[in-house]
Amino acid sequence: MLMTKAHRMAILTYLFKEGVIVAKKDYNLAKHPDVEEASNLEVIKLMTSLTSKDLVACRFSWKHYYWFLNDDGIAWLREYLHLPADSEPNTLK
């Protein structure tokens, strides 16, 4: 799926900041509730891509997707977003 770099960076920045991201299984939702810049479909498709690369773990419950960063995903996002080595998601604090 094609998406702008600004939307991708907004989603990945939010994911790294929180350590987890939730999306309702609604592909027609115009805006994601937590990431205002991106649509819900863009969040779902980007997280599906990261799941296939084993950078996040996915759970599905009650029409909601839950994605959790793992250690490989944290290291990859630090490199991709050019963050310092001492920064970590809120789930690890």
- Show the tokens assigned to 13: 């920045």
Beta-carbon contacts of 93 under 8 Å, excluding residues fewer than 6 positions away, are none
Q: Which helix (H) or strand (E) holds 61?
A: strand 56-61
Q: How big is the chain by its Cα radius of gyration, in Å?
A: 13
Residue 1: the pLDDT is: 77
Angle of helix 71-81 versus helix 5-18 axis, rounded to 10: 130
Taking all residues of the chain, what is their mean pLDDT, rounded to a whole number? 93
pLDDT in tens, 26-67: 898 889 898 989 999 999 999 999 999 999 999 999 999 999
